[in-house]
């Protein structure tokens, strides 16, 4: 067994390279040991990039920028389409690799890859046009949109392929070149995609580097990078913003959330419970826009609690490579320890457990799906973003009170309202202090719809014309028609 594991390590270690200026490069920076969260054991490793290799990648991106930005949107769309086709053609092996390094069930890994492909294609269908402000006898004034230059993209570990594809496509379609850095917890799929698309794009247009926190800081400080797109925690997002300020980089921050779902008294708990549960627990709760607090009207509160607990018992926890698994592990040991600490704090506060509260007796970073009630509004489980498979259910009587409680947070990513009275639910949703307010749905996004956070949940938007334009500089061209 040990010999087999060693052989696997060697094969995987030799199978991943950085992408710099169109060439496969063996990094000379820190070695990244990649852990399978279903076992808690290292199953592969790769070499990260040194500071000199980052400099090479940035220089390559800058050299490639003039020719790439000069291409038409239609031309650049063809390149993105080829990338999407490659993702689909390699969905099987990519999904297995994603499950091994991230933990999510194989079916969800395939869905992520297919979504990355379709979202990328969808964004290239959004036209970016110059705007005519004035055209009279004296003046013609246009607002044009031009690419920024080199975009640095830093992605997280919870959905590494999809959350790389969105900013990557946004940058490329709008004429920028890219240096892409995945999370050190999940570098392999991103590196593999870099290898697969190496011959698709001209050298230097896409560069893919692995590395830890130091590489991320070098990128945010680098004078040759014009834009940073970061997806991750609020705490790290603030560091990115501070670091990027030295060169006044443009930034897009898609950060954490503490999404509230308000469930009104006219719903059937058995109908809404499976939808709420999925929105809160898919990917073991490791989704920025997952439902993280449920506010249920007192008239349906007990029935909804029972229906949610019943749903929790249906979801099989296990290795994502097992077809029966619906919930995989928490992705890394640090996050697992945070969630377990939050669980124990919730237990000490006297919460009532509707489901879960324990972990399966097996190796890996597993936790059974956990629903709690009888918790104080100021408790950590309500105030903090769990980013794990534990969700509190709270009771309300007055809907205005529910809105106030939902908004009483430093987060503002998204939220939802659930009701058969669509007009009433829409009016309530409009009062949520969030970037996206859903009615009778949660976690629904599309390539043509802007997504991002209010308050401390981020800056800027991704997807849509609004998101695409954040990779471009508005330039006014003002012409006086007579001397």
Catalytic residues: 254, 288
Report the distance separating Cα 316 and Cα 89, nearest Å: 29
Q: What is the torsion angle, in degrees rounded to the nearest 10, for the CA atoms of residue 462, residue 468, residue 472 and residue 474?
A: -100
Report the distance separating Cα 350 and Cα 371, nearest Å: 13
* 249, 227 contact by CB (below 8 A): yes
Q: Which two tokens stand for residue 247?
A: 């060169």
- At 401, phi and psi to the nearest 5? -65, -40
The conformational region for residue 410 under phi > 0 = left, psi -120 to 50 = alpha, else beta, is alpha
* Alpha helix segments (H runs only) across 124-263: 162-173, 188-196, 213-221, 234-244
Report the distance separating Cα 354 and Cα 369, nearest Å: 10
Report the distance separating Cα 77 and Cα 100, nearest Å: 32
CA separation, residue 430 to residues 405, 424, 435 (Å): 15, 10, 10
- At 321, phi and psi to the nearest 5? -80, -15
Q: What is the 3-state secondary structure (H, E, C) of 447-461?
A: CCCCECCCHHHEECC
The conformational region for residue 444 under phi > 0 = left, psi -120 to 50 = alpha, else beta, is beta
Bridge-based pairing state of the strands 291-297 and 352-355: unpaired
Report the distance separating Cα 185 and Cα 156, nearest Å: 8
Q: What is the 3-state secondary structure (H, E, C) of 213-231?
A: HHHHHHHHHCCCCCEEEEE
The residue behind tokens 């993105």 is 80
184 Cβ partners below 8 Å, 6+ apart?
A: 32, 48, 210, 211, 212, 213
Angle between helices 91-102 and 106-123 (to 10 degrees): 120
State whether the Cα torsion 472-81-197-288 is positive or negative: positive
| Closest to 473 measured CA to CA, from 162, 173, 121, 144 | 144
């Amino acid at each position: 067994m040990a010999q087999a594991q060693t052989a696997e390590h060697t094969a995987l270690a030799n199978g991943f390279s950085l992408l710099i200026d169109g060439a496969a490069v063996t990094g000379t920076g820190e070695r990244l040991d990649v852990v399978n969260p279903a076992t808690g054991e290292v199953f592969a490793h790769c070499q990260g990039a040194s500071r000199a290799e980052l400099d090479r990648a940035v220089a390559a991106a800058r050299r490639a920028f003039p020719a790439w930005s000069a291409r038409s949107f239609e031309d650049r769309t063809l390149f993105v389409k080829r990338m999407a086709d490659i993702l689909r053609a390699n969905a099987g092996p990519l999904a297995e690799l994603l499950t091994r390094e991230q933990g999510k069930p194989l079916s969800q890994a395939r869905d992520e890859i297919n979504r990355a492909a379709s979202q990328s294609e969808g964004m290239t269908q959004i036209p970016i046009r110059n705007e005519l402000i004035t055209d009279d006898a004296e003046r013609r004034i246009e607002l044009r949109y031009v690419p920024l230059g080199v975009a640095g993209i830093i992605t997280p570990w919870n959905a590494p392929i999809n959350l790389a594809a969105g900013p990557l496509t946004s940058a490329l379609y709008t004429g920028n070149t890219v240096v892409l850095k995945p999370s050190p917890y999940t570098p392999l799929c991103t590196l593999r995609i870099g290898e697969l698309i190496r011959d698709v794009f001209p050298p230097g247009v896409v560069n893919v580097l692995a590395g830890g926190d130091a590489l991320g800081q070098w990128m945010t400080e680098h004078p040759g990078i014009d834009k940073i797109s970061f997806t991750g925690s609020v705490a790290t997002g603030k560091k990115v913003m501070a670091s990027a300020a030295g060169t006044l980089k443009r930034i897009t921050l898609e950060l954490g959330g503490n999404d509230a779902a308000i469930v009104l008294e006219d719903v059937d708990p058995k109908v809404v419970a499976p939808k709420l549960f999925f929105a809160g627990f898919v990917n073991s709760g490791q989704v920025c826009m997952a439902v993280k607090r449920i506010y249920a009207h007192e008239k349906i509160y007990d029935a909804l609690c029972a229906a949610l607990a019943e749903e929790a018992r249906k979801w099989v926890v296990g290795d994502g490579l097992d077809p029966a698994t619906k919930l995989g592990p928490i992705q890394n040991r640090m996050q697992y320890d945070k969630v377990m600490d939050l669980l124990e704090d919730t237990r000490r506060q006297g919460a009532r457990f509707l489901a879960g509260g324990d972990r399966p007796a097996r190796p890996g970073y597993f936790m059974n799906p956990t629903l709690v009630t009888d918790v104080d509004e100021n408790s950590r489980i309500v105030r903090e973003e769990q980013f794990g498979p534990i969700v509190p259910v709270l009771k309300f009587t007055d809907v205005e009170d529910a809105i106030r409680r939902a908004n009483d947070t430093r987060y503002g990513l998204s939220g939802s309202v659930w009701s058969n009275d669509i007009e009433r639910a829409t009016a309530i949703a409009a009062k949520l202090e969030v970037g996206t307010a859903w009615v009778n749905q949660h976690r629904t996004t599309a390539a043509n719809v802007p997504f991002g956070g209010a308050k401390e949940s981020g800056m800027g938007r991704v997807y849509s014309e609004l998101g695409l334009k954040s990779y471009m500089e508005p330039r006014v061209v003002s012409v006086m028609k007579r001397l």
